[in-house]
Amino acid sequence: MNNTNNAHPLDQPPAERGRHASRRRFLSVFGTAAVGLPLLGACGTVPDAPAVTTDRKSPMGGARPQVQASQAASPGNEVKRTSFPISAVGLTWTGSPRGVRLRLIDRSGKPGAWRKVTAGCPCAKDPETVPTKSTTPPNRALVPAYGSYGYQLDVDSGVRVVEAIAIDAGRSGTKRLPATAATPSKPTASGTGGAPAFPPAGVVLRADWGADEAKRFTADGSESSPTRFTRAQAITVHHTATPLDDPDPAATVRAIYEQHAVSNDWGDIGYNFLIDRQGTVYEGRFSGSDGIPAHNTRNEIVTGFHTFAFNPGNIGIALLGDFGKEKPSAPMHASLVGLTASLAALHKLDPLAAITYVSPTSGKSTPGPALGGHRDWTSTECPGSAAYLNLSAVRESAARFVR
């Protein structure tokens, strides 16, 4: 079946652009309504929700990349179609981390092969109040979709897809982003070269990667997740479990922002920083308009949404790619060393130290590393075994600049 010739609902402009009022309402309304939606067409295709589009000026070169996304929904096993080419499908599910399969649908409606979805970083927002019982964050993945026009899910029994969102993250401008952004000078023979300055030269700020700041606000103009700042205690490394050969990492950052801010309803991207394979460092979670990423003017760190129950004071750095088997590239490694060294120096953290993290929310003390991986704090594969093993080298190198 070819829906492109029909008067598909998605081919018409979105009727309403009050993104966040509709977004929050939609999450509850659609979650219920979707169950009873009639199947449209002989192939049982259910139209996806209207796309939400942003298009503004960007310093990346020319217009701000156009980002489109379906409304976040909790789909069953029906085919979900879009009127735009999908660069990634963001998924959140409970149950087995290996219990989801996905197939992409091309423009003509032809399905591709079923693929197993690999759960990525189970990043999560802390509850506003101290939880009364331990909570396990759901599985999450950002599945590349290569310009498809739909997708279909198949899940094992016991698996429930909580949220799914189809994202076209747009094409980035032609302006070249810095190849390496946070590489410190070599240590001197005495072992110390002085920590690199923070913020790293060439860090790609939110406006530069095309963040649409409107996504952080509700329709009444209030911030969805107001910024909170606290003393830095730890640095935690993640991976995004997205493809290593990423042709447009800035677009992937925008897709993650869309998934975290809108689909997960966190109001922003969960990580404080992201690093791509070329070593480019991207600003993550919004922290004010002073041009200093991740911090306020009192040198406190903004709380992200990356390591559940250990977010306040924990600086989350995501490596773009899947590092289950492959180590970070040399430029990525160098930038991770430079960034962690500059942060450790700024906050007087010893990269080699074991610390006792004290939650400002619950007051609970938990032992952990000053510079570690997501799996040091919770049961997860993140940041991938190869990146995790590589962290000892990152600690050693960062410590040489700090000590």
238 or 254: CB nearest Zn ion: 238
Instruction: Bin 258: left if φ > 0, else alpha if -120 < ψ < 50, else beta.
Output: alpha
What is the biggest distance separating any 2 CA atoms in the chain, rounded to whole angstroms? 74
DSSP secondary structure letters along 110-143: -B---EEPPP-----PPPSS--SS--PPPEEEEE
Residue 317 Cβ, how far from Zn ion at the closest point, in Å? 10
Q: Does 260 contact Zn ion by CB under 5 A?
A: no
DSSP letter for 15, please: S
Q: Are 57 and 64 in contact (CB under 8 A)?
A: yes
Q: Does 140 contact Zn ion by CB under 5 A?
A: no
Q: Are 214 and 206 in contact (CB under 8 A)?
A: no
170 or 369: CB nearest Zn ion: 369
User: Which H helix or E strand runs over 30?
Assistant: helix 19-33
- Binding characters for Zn ion, 223-242, by CB under 5 A (x = yes): ---------------x----
Residue 140 Cβ, how far from Zn ion at the closest point, in Å? 9
**Candidate ranges 48-56, 269-277, 380-388, 395-403; the one touching Zn ion (CB under 5 A):** 380-388
**Candidate ranges 128-136, 328-336, 351-359, 367-375; the one touching Zn ion (CB under 5 A):** 367-375
User: Which H helix or E strand runs over 167?
Assistant: strand 160-168
269 or 382: CB nearest Zn ion: 382
Residue 57's contacts (CB-CB under 8 Å, 6 or more residues apart) are 63, 64
Q: Does 374 contact Zn ion by CB under 5 A?
A: yes
Residue 270 Cβ, how far from Zn ion at the closest point, in Å? 9
Residue 382 Cβ, how far from Zn ion at the closest point, in Å? 3
Residue 361 Cβ, how far from Zn ion at the closest point, in Å? 19
105 or 142: CB nearest Zn ion: 142
Residue 184 Cβ, how far from Zn ion at the closest point, in Å? 25
Distance in angstroms between the alpha carbons of the first and the last residue of the chain? 65
Q: Does 169 contact Zn ion by CB under 5 A?
A: no
**β-strands 301-302, 229-230: how paired?**
antiparallel
10 or 274: CB nearest Zn ion: 274
Please give the structure tokens belonging to residue 324.
Answer: 């289950």
**Candidate ranges 5-13, 69-77, 216-224, 378-386; the one touching Zn ion (CB under 5 A):** 378-386
Q: Is the dihedral of CA 162, 129, 124, 374 positive or negative?
A: negative
**Which one-letter amino acid corresponds to residue 86?**
I
The site that binds Zn ion (CB under 5 A) totals a number of residues, namely 4
Q: Does 382 contact Zn ion by CB under 5 A?
A: yes
Residue 190's contacts (CB-CB under 8 Å, 6 or more residues apart) are none
What does the alpha-carbon distance between residue 212 and residue 153 come to, in Å, rounded to a whole number?
A: 29
By CB under 5 A, the residues from 277 to 306 that bind Zn ion are none
Residue 139 Cβ, how far from Zn ion at the closest point, in Å? 12
What does the alpha-carbon distance between residue 196 and residue 291 come to, in Å, rounded to a whole number?
A: 18
**Which one-letter amino acid corresponds to residue 63?**
A
Residue 324 Cβ, how far from Zn ion at the closest point, in Å? 13
What does the alpha-carbon distance between residue 345 and residue 188 come to, in Å, rounded to a whole number?
A: 17
DSSP letter for 368, please: E
10 or 142: CB nearest Zn ion: 142
Residue 395 Cβ, how far from Zn ion at the closest point, in Å? 18
**Candidate ranges 3-11, 119-127, 185-193, 227-235; the one touching Zn ion (CB under 5 A):** 119-127
140 or 254: CB nearest Zn ion: 140
Residue 187 Cβ, how far from Zn ion at the closest point, in Å? 29
User: Which H helix or E strand runs over 336?
Assistant: helix 330-346
**Candidate ranges 6-14, 113-121, 218-226, 319-327; the one touching Zn ion (CB under 5 A):** 113-121
**Candidate ranges 11-19, 20-28, 213-221, 377-385; the one touching Zn ion (CB under 5 A):** 377-385
Q: Is the dihedral of CA 231, 237, 241, 244 positive or negative?
A: positive
Among 51, 67, 88, 121, binds Zn ion (CB under 5 A): 121
23 or 238: CB nearest Zn ion: 238
47 or 372: CB nearest Zn ion: 372
Range list of β-strands (E), 17-138: 45-47, 52-54, 67-69, 79-94, 100-105, 115-116
Contact footprint for Zn ion (CB under 5 A): 121, 238, 374, 382
